[in-house]
Structure 1
């Protein structure tokens, strides 16, 4: 989950209270990201005590419910969060993942398209994707490809790595996660060598706005680019999602 800005409460909060709540939300997200669950629980408990019905606090409670294997409880929290703040992209995204697991495809797509719209707005507001950022991502992708063993490097030599801001609405409508970091398109290595007749161009797409949203600093961004490129190369070489996850490239 990423945080853009803590929205206004239904009741007035002082500037100091708003700042304190924002700090707690940020701290909880960081702890959850590092999988420090008990400190995260304690921080979220502080946030609940301060603003139990706040949309982002409700979304944090949904994260905890999922950790406790309570998807029904998580869904209640997320629906409550969106009732308070219908433009909270993180709540839409997490609810979409729950709907995906429940097999509710149409509802999932509805929320994912909302995520795509809201994230795009945030990109424009914060001018995401400076020339320096894009150059950094391109260089890290090249560096990753340069580390491949020779027999693999030869087979990906003509596979381009393309940068796009985020997935298109068309593929999100097909069920693709709007916050995915990358995408492999076209025939696999085997398909190309076997002349299967698939004429689509083979390419790897990196979604730079999603990568930048995931990475708080250059070191983390470099790591995310490397993992994403290797993940999509895994698909090129015929691995499915479970296979690449088993290699630590999820």
Structure 2
């Protein structure tokens, strides 16, 4: 799948979120790249070829009252295109998996633990 098509699915997933969730997405950017780089891999125990997504930043639930009073670099949600494509057999599976990964990483952004995210998504 072309990167533009892949990114469009990511965008559509974000746009389809309930309004109450979209309003909470503050100072966060979504980045599509093929694989995690070495800096991103240091934050996880996964291999370069197994990681589907990654959230980095200060979770919403951990932001204090002073957050935003000073310039803060945006939190980042990475979606790893090549790794997702590798495990999907067709476009339908691909769209479903992209949505799952985006929602999973948004869960971490909101402050949910891995266990809480998996439970909420029925994983």
Q: Check whether TM > 0.5.
A: yes
Compute the RMSD of aligned alpha carbons. 2.3
Q: Distance between the aligned counterparts of 2:80 and 2:106, measured in 1?
A: 15
- Residue 205 (structure 1) aligned to one of 78, 102, 113: 78
Taking the TM superposition and a 5 Å limit, the aligned residue runs for 1:141-160 are 141-156=10-25, 158-160=27-29
- Number of aligned residue pairs: give it: 119
TM-score in terms of structure 1 length: 0.43
The SS at the match of 1:247 is helix
Q: Name whichever structure is richer in strand by fraction.
A: 2
Match of 2:120 in 1: 247
The SS at the match of 2:23 is helix
8 Å contact from structure 1 (residues 228, 249) kept in 2:
no
The SS at the match of 2:98 is helix
- Residue 7 (structure 2) aligned to one of 131, 135, 138: 138
Structure 2 gap segments, 5+ residues each = none
Describe the shift of the 1:187–1:157 C-alpha distance in structure 2 as closer, same or farther (beyond 3 A): closer
Describe the shift of the 1:221–1:181 C-alpha distance in structure 2 as closer, same or farther (beyond 3 A): same
Match of 1:190 in 2: 61
Structure 1 gap segments, 5+ residues each = 1-131
User: RCO (CA 8 Å, sep 6+): is it higher in 1 or 2?
Assistant: 2
TM-score in terms of structure 2 length: 0.82
- Whichever of the two has the greater Rg, that structure is 1
Q: Name whichever structure is richer in helix by fraction.
A: 1
Q: Distance between the aligned counterparts of 2:44 and 2:54, measured in 1?
A: 13
8 Å contact from structure 1 (residues 183, 232) kept in 2:
yes
Asked if residue 223 in structure 1 is aligned to residue 92 in structure 2, the reply is: no
